[in-house]
Amino acid sequence: ASFDIVQFSEELTEEMQLLAKQNQHIIYQHTGTGSSVHLDPKILKYCVVNLVGNAIKYSGENTYIEYSTEIRDNRLELHVRDNGIGIPESDQKHLFEAFFRAHNTGSIPGTGLGLNIVTRYVALLKGSISFESKLNQGTSFTIILPLDS
């Protein structure tokens, strides 16, 4: 079945906004050719909820979180960007390991499982996931999924 990624993302953004901190604003944008995608919405929801949930959790009050989707070349790209605590460089290579948590999480709760499960889902869909991060500046995650079928 196919669904509309814009409608899906706008609804999810509203739900996630309820979980955000004081004056943390989630901004959603879509670009590209059309908005219908042939993917499992439950898998997509798990991925976006964990990435946006992490952005909320690991960034402070009065910040913006950007969530965007783009369809091009028969691929769906998802981007989630925050201006949060960032990930220490020496921790970055371990980030997708089960139960791994970076050393700067302090008293912020978490199990270190969310991203590991996201990587398994992305692999199932023959996609890819990557991130860039600077300590104390912010982090951005990208998921790219093929839309062949």
Provide the binding-site residues for ligand ATP, judged by CB under 6 A. 50, 54-55, 58, 82, 84-87, 95, 101-102, 105, 110-116, 139
Long-range contacts of 42-49 (CB under 8 A, 24+ apart): 43/121, 43/124, 43/125, 44/8, 45/8, 45/12, 46/117, 46/118, 46/121, 47/78, 47/118, 47/121, 47/122, 47/143, 48/9, 48/12, 48/78, 48/80, 49/12, 49/16
Nearer to ligand ATP, 20 or 95 (CB): 95
User: Dihedral angle at the C-alpha atoms of 52, 55, 61, 66, nearest 10 degrees?
Assistant: -70
Task: List the structure tokens of 133.
Answer: 């991060």
Nearer to ligand ATP, 3 or 131 (CB): 131
Minimum Å gap between C-beta 79 and Mg ion is 17
Task: List the structure tokens of 24.
Answer: 């943390």
Minimum Å gap between C-beta 145 and ligand ATP is 19
Q: Considering only 14-22, 62-70, 74-82, 111-119, which stretch makes contact with Mg ion by CB under 5 A?
A: 111-119
Site string for Mg ion, 125-144 (x = CB under 5 A): --------------------
**Please, how many CA atoms are within 13 Å of residue 83, restricted to the half-sphere of its CB?**
11
Q: Considering only 40-48, 54-62, 70-78, 86-94, which stretch makes contact with Mg ion by CB under 5 A?
A: 54-62
Contact between 119 and Mg ion by CB under 5 A: the answer reads no
Minimum Å gap between C-beta 55 and ligand ATP is 5
Judged by the rule CB under 5 A, the positions of this chain that interact with Mg ion are 54, 114
